[in-house]
Amino acid sequence: MTRQLVGTSLKMNFTAAEARTYFRTLVPLVDDIRDRDLFVLPPFTALWVAREELAGTAIAWGAQDVHESLSGAHTGDISAPMLVDLGCRYAEVGHSERRRDHGERDGRIARKVATAIGCGLDVVLCVGESREMRTRLATTVVLRHLDGALGARPAAELDRVVVAYEPYWAIGAGASPAPLDHVSGVQRAVRAWLLERGCATPRVVYGGSVSLDNAGDLLALPDVDGVFVGRAALDPLVFARIAHTGLPPG
Ligand code: PGA
C-alpha cells in the first residue's frame, strides 16, 4: 500500500522569521509519525529557513511553483536548478491560484512538470474542475488536465508525481470540501489513469477545505493517498493534528 501523504502549502503567508517559528512549533509535534510522509511548501523567501529547520527531520519541503526554463530572461521567476541547489524535494505546479493569478494553462504546466522532474524534483501537480459539476463530468475535466500535463511523460517519471485533486470551487475562505463520493469517484479515475500509463505507485491526494473535521473521513477513503491542506495548516498545531488523524495512538 502507498504511504499516505499529508502536506501543506503555506501560500503567500509568513515572513522568514514567522516560518521559523512555524517549523519550530511543528517539528516536535510530528516527530512520532512514522507511517505517513509529510511535506511543507513555504514561500520562496522562506525555503532557506525550511532547509535549516527541517534538516534531519522527516518533513520534506519544496516550492509552490517553478519556471519551465532552466535559466534566462524571466524577471521574478525561479528555476528548477535553483530549487534543487537549495535542497528542495518538491515543486508544486498548476495550482488553481497560479492559473487564476498568472494565466497558467495546461501547455505551460506540462513544460514545468517536465523541467522539474528533469532536474530531479518531485512534482505536486494540482488538477481540478473549476466549477461545481457532476462527478462524471468533473472526471472528464480532470483527466483532460492529466493528459495535458502528464500525457507526454514516460512511466518512470509518473512515480515522481503526486497528483493533488483540488476542485477549484472547494478551495479557500468560504468554500466547502467536495463530497466524499465525488472525491472518491474522481480520484479512482486518476489512479486508473496513472496505472494504465505504467505508474507503479500512484499517489493521489485531495485538497480543498481540508480541516480537522473532515480529514479523518477523507484519509479513510480507499482512493485517497493523503491530503493537501491550505488554511487549516497555517496553525501548526492543527496541521500536526491532521497529520495524526486516523493513526493508532502512539
Ligand atoms: P484550502 O486550500 O485548504 O485553504 O481550501 C487548499 C489548497 O489550495 O490546496
Report the distance separating Cα 50 and Cα 16, nearest Å. Answer: 9
Report the distance separating Cα 55 and Cα 47, nearest Å. Answer: 12
Residue nearest to ligand 1 atom 3, measured at CA:
230
Choosing from 166, 214, 238 the residue with most ligand 1 atoms within 8 A of its CB, the one to mutate for a pocket test is 166
Cell numbers for 23, please give them. Answer: 517549523
Residue nearest to ligand 1 atom 2, measured at CA:
230
Q: What is the pTM of this model?
A: 0.97
> What's 77's DSSP letter?
-
**CA 40 → CA 19, 27, 96, 123, distances in Å?**
11, 11, 18, 13
**Range list of H helices, the chain:** 16-30, 47-54, 80-86, 96-102, 106-118, 135-150, 155-158, 180-196, 215-219, 236-244
CA of 130 to the centre of ligand 1 (A): 14
CA of 250 to the centre of ligand 1 (A): 28
In this predicted structure, what is the pLDDT of residue 89? 98
Going residue by residue through the chain (250 aa), what tens digit of pLDDT does each one get? 679 999 999 999 999 999 999 999 999 999 999 999 999 999 999 999 999 999 999 999 999 999 999 999 999 999 999 999 999 999 999 999 999 999 999 999 999 999 999 999 999 999 999 999 999 999 999 999 999 999 999 999 999 999 999 999 999 999 999 999 999 999 999 999 999 999 999 999 999 999 999 999 999 999 999 999 999 999 999 999 999 999 987 6
In this predicted structure, what is the pLDDT of residue 56? 95
CA of 209 to the centre of ligand 1 (A): 5
In this predicted structure, what is the pLDDT of residue 249? 77
Residue nearest to ligand 1 atom 1, measured at CA:
230
Nearest atom in ligand 1 to the alpha carbon of residue 211 is 3
Report the distance separating Cα 223 and Cα 226, nearest Å. Answer: 9
**CA 17 → CA 14, 87, 181, distances in Å?**
8, 19, 41
Ligand 1: does its nearest atom lie under 6 Å from the Cβ of 231?
Answer: yes
Give the angle subtended at the CA of 112 by the CAs of 111 and 118, to the nearest 5°: 90
Radius of gyration (C-alpha) of the chain in whole angstroms:
17
Ligand 1: does its nearest atom lie under 6 Å from the Cβ of 172?
Answer: yes
In this predicted structure, what is the pLDDT of residue 1? 60
Residue 77, number of CB atoms within 10 A of its CB: 15
Report the distance separating Cα 113 and Cα 96, nearest Å. Answer: 15
Nearest atom in ligand 1 to the alpha carbon of residue 164 is 9
